[in-house]
Amino acid sequence: MKREIKTLKRKNAQAFYAEQEIKEMQKNKEVEMAQEKHTAQAEREIQTEQEKQGMRYADADIHPNILRAVADMGFEIMSPIQEQAIPALLTGRDIIGQAQTGTGKTAAFGIPMIQSVDAELKKLQAIVLCPTRELAIQAAEEIRKLAKYMHGVKVLPIYGGQDISRQIRALSQGVQIIVGTPGRVMDHMRRHTIKTAHVKMIVLDEADEMLNMGFREDIETILKDMPEERQMALFSATMPKPILDITHTYQKDAQYIKVTPKEITVDTIKQAYYRINKKDKMAALCRLIDYYQPVRSLIFCNTKKMVDEMAEILKQRDYQAEGLHGDLSQHQRDMVMGAFRNGRCSILIATDVAARGIDVSGVDAVFNYDVPEDIEYYVHRIGRTGRAGKAGRSFTLVSGREIYKIREIECICHTQIKERKLPTPKDIMKVKAGVVFAEAMEVMDEKDLSAVKASIEAMAQEHGFTPLDLAAAFMQMKIGDEPEEIKEEKPLFERRNRDGRREHDGNRGRSEAHGRGGQRSRGGRGERRGERNAGGRGEGRGRIGDRMENRDGRGRIGAGGRAENRDRRGRASVGSRGESRDKNGNGKKRALRKNAPLGKM
pLDDT, tens only, 176-199: 999 999 999 999 999 999 999 999
pLDDT score of 366 more than 70: yes
Statement to judge: residues 122 and 159 lie in one domain = yes
Q: What angle do CA 71, 74, 79 make, to 5 degrees?
A: 95
User: What average pLDDT does the chain have?
Assistant: 77
How many structural domains does the chain have? 5
Domain boundary among 422, 457, 489: 422
* Percent share of the chain, pLDDT over 70: 69
Statement to judge: residues 113 and 215 lie in one domain = yes
**Residue 362 pLDDT grade (very low, low, confident, very high; cuts 50, 70, 90):** confident
Tell me the mean pLDDT in the region 313-334. Answer: 88
Q: What angle do CA 85, 86, 90 make, to 5 degrees?
A: 120
Coil vs helix vs strand at 219: helix
pTM passes above 0.75? no
pLDDT of residue 561: 43
Least confident residue range of 22-31, 63-72, 502-511: 502-511
pLDDT score of 595 more than 70: no
Cα 327 to the chain's mean position, in Å?
Answer: 24
As a whole number of angstroms, the distance between CA 59 and CA 560 comes to: 88
Statement to judge: residues 468 and 404 lie in one domain = no
Within a domain: 400: yes
* Percent share of the chain, pLDDT over 90: 35
pLDDT score of 209 more than 50: yes
Statement to judge: residues 163 and 141 lie in one domain = yes
Least confident residue range of 46-55, 241-250, 544-553: 544-553
As a whole number of angstroms, the distance between CA 544 and CA 231 comes to: 87
**Residue 433 pLDDT grade (very low, low, confident, very high; cuts 50, 70, 90):** confident
Least confident residue range of 7-11, 232-236, 384-388: 7-11
pLDDT of residue 93: 93
Least confident residue range of 88-92, 336-340, 551-555: 551-555
Statement to judge: residues 431 and 395 lie in one domain = no
Question: Tens of pLDDT along 436-451?
Answer: 888 888 888 888 888 8
Could you tell me the CA-to-CA distances from 375 to 190, 211, 354, 364 in Å, in that order? 39, 18, 17, 22
Tell me the mean pLDDT in the region 241-257. Answer: 91
* Closest C-alpha to 346, from 314, 373, 371: 314
- Residue 367, judged by CB atoms within 10 A of its CB (0-12, 13-18, 19+), counts as buried
Statement to judge: residues 152 and 212 lie in one domain = yes
Statement to judge: residues 401 and 351 lie in one domain = yes
As a whole number of angstroms, the distance between CA 82 and CA 57 comes to: 9
Q: What is the DSSP letter of 52?
A: H
Within a domain: 322: yes
Statement to judge: residues 190 and 294 lie in one domain = no
Least confident residue range of 31-35, 538-542, 565-569: 538-542
- The answer to whether 394 touches 269, Cβ cutoff 8 Å, is yes
Tell me the mean pLDDT in the region 243-268. Answer: 78
- Residue 513, judged by CB atoms within 10 A of its CB (0-12, 13-18, 19+), counts as exposed
Q: What is the DSSP letter of 488?
A: B
pLDDT of residue 31: 59
DSSP output for 346-413: SEEEE-TTGGGG---TT--EEEESS--SSHHHHHHHHTTSSGGG--EEEEEEE-TTHHHHHHHHHHHH
Coil vs helix vs strand at 562: coil
pLDDT of residue 497: 54
State which H helix or E strand residue 127 sits in. strand 126-129
Question: Tens of pLDDT along 131-166?
Answer: 888 889 889 999 999 999 999 999 999 998 888 999
Q: What is the CATH number of the domain that holds 310?
A: 3.40.50.300
pLDDT of residue 259: 77
pLDDT of residue 513: 43
**Domain of 44, in residue numbers:** 1-53
